[in-house]
């Protein structure tokens, strides 16, 4: 049998695409929990901006956990961890959750840090969103640290880092690319032929998006789609959340599996372009339409290249 704890001691970091949509983010959370979460991990920190998908990842990693400030705006008051010293016995919670950015509107930072320390001293597990904000007061790093931006970075810090601020710098900078890509993706979907909208799947590529068509190659005019999307970007249409399955683009309702991960208007999408050919993945029998955003251009055949520093 594998010694999971020994493997985790040698783990530096892992990187995943931050997928579009709650279902795929939940599934990634389950995968991360299975691969990296140890029973001895009691302090788990999440880092990333609002709308990056941290809460969905938490729900995937810890099914059934009550989030103190969930995506539906249901807030648990008073914050359970603040009375951890009063919760004894068999039915006291084993795992606590708190969102530091939200809680600082009600509680001083040093009080939150003391409550976390007290819970850990009592053998509890604490899940902390926006861990980078509490770290200077807590004066200890997480056992498992997860950053969510364009990518999901999973790391097990040690004495030499990484510090939460290092992860924040990476994911906060890259989230904008992910938001631009998701907005451009929805714009492209609007101009697919009706008969093709029923069979594509969303997939991922660095600094962009993939629309994957199972089976026969789709009949698409890539020049026309790109021209129409660029026109929408020029119009600077507002993009707004409607519900968990829709966004509003201008005055048009559009189905969307990731409605919270968008730029505020189409004009915020920078340097959109389509790769003017379809890629064929023989192993999955899918034809892939690739769109890119941002200033960083990659060779078409090497879009997911790992850069060596």
Q: What is the pLDDT of residues 230-267, one digit of tens each?
A: 999 999 999 999 998 999 999 999 999 889 999 999 99
Reported in sequence order, the residue ranges of the chain that DSSP labels E, i.e. its strands, are: 13-17, 43-47, 95-99, 125-129, 144-148, 151-155, 200-205, 208-214, 239-243, 246-249, 252-255, 273-274, 279-281, 286-292
Q: Are residues 103 and 249 in the same domain?
A: no
CATH number at residue 54: 3.40.50
- The number of folded domains in the chain is 2
Domain match, 216 and 103 both = no
More confident residue, 162 or 78: 162
Indicate which CATH number applies to the domain containing 285. Answer: 3.30.980.10
Return the DSSP state at 85.
G
CA–CA dist 229, 236 (Å, integer):
11
Last residue of a domain, one of 104, 137, 162: 162
Q: Which domain, by its residues, includes 205?
A: 178-302
Q: Measured between alpha carbons, how far is 283 from 184 in angstroms, rounded to an integer?
A: 27
Q: Among the three residues 129, 162, 195, which one is the final residue of a domain in this structure?
A: 162
| Residue 283 and residue 152 in one domain | no
Is there a domain that residue 90 lies in?
yes
Question: HSE on the CB side for 46, CA within 13 Å?
Answer: 28
Whether residue 1 is predicted with pLDDT greater than 50 in this model: the reply is no
Residue 78, preceding peptide bond in cis (omega within 30° of 0): yes
How far is 163 from 195, CA to CA, in rounded Å?
49
Question: 222 and 138: one domain?
Answer: no
In a domain, 168, yes or no: no
pLDDT tens-digit readout, 81-103: 888 766 665 556 789 999 999 89
Same domain, residue pair 105 and 252 = no
Mean of per-residue pLDDT scores for the chain: 88
Alpha-carbon separation of residue 176 from 33, 48, 53, 154 (angstroms): 26, 11, 13, 20
116 and 247, same domain (yes or no): no
Residue range 183-231, pLDDT digits in tens: 999 999 999 998 898 889 999 998 999 999 999 999 999 999 999 999 9
pTM, full prediction: 0.86
Question: Do 115 and 47 belong to one domain?
Answer: yes
- Give yes or no: residues 155 and 190 share one domain: no
Backbone phi, psi, residue 226, to 5°: -60, -40
User: Residues with Cβ < 8 Å from 267, sequence gap 6 or more?
Assistant: 233, 234, 235, 236, 237
CA 133/CA 254 separation, integer angstroms: 35
pLDDT digits (tens, 9 = 90+) for 51-73: 899 999 999 999 988 888 765 55
Q: Tell me: do 190 and 145 sit in the same domain.
A: no
Last residue of a domain, one of 162, 193, 208: 162
Q: Same domain for 191 and 126? A: no
Whether the CB-CB separation of 148 and 56 falls below 8 Å is answered with no
């Amino acid at each position: 049998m594998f010694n999971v704890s020994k493997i985790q001691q040698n783990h530096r970091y892992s990187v995943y695409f931050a997928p579009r949509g709650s279902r795929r983010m939940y599934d990634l959370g389950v995968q991360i929990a299975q691969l990296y979460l140890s029973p001895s991990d009691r302090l788990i920190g999440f880092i990333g901006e609002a709308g990056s998908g941290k809460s969905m990842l938490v729900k995937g990693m810890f099914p059934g956990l009550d989030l103190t400030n969930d995506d539906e705006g249901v807030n648990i008051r008073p914050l359970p961890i603040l009375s951890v010293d009063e919760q004894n016995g068999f039915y006291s919670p084993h795992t606590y959750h708190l969102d530091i950015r939200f809680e600082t509107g009600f509680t001083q930072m040093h009080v939150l840090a003391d409550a976390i320390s007290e819970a850990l001293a009592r053998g509890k597990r604490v899940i902390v969103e926006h861990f980078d904000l509490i770290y200077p007061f807590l004066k200890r790093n997480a056992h498992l640290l997860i950053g969510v931006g364009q990518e999901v970075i999973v790391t097990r810090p040690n004495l030499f880092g990484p510090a939460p601020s290092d992860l924040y710098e990476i994911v906060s900078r890259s989230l904008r690319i992910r938001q631009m890509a998701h907005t451009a993706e929805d714009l492209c979907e609007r101009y697919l032929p009706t008969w093709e909208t029923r069979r594509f799947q969303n997939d991922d590529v660095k600094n962009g998006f993939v629309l994957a068509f199972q089976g026969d190659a789709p009949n698409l005019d890539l020049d026309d789609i790109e021209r129409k999307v660029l026109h929408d970007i020029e119009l600077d249409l507002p993009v707004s959340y409607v519900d968990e399955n829709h966004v509003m683009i201008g005055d048009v309702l559009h189905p969307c599996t990731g409605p919270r991960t968008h730029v505020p208007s189409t004009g915020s999408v920078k340097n959109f372009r389509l790769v003017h050919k379809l890629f064929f993945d023989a192993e999955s029998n899918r034809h892939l339409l690739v769109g890119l955003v941002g200033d960083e251009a990659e060779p078409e055949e090497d879009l997911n290249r790992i850069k060596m520093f």
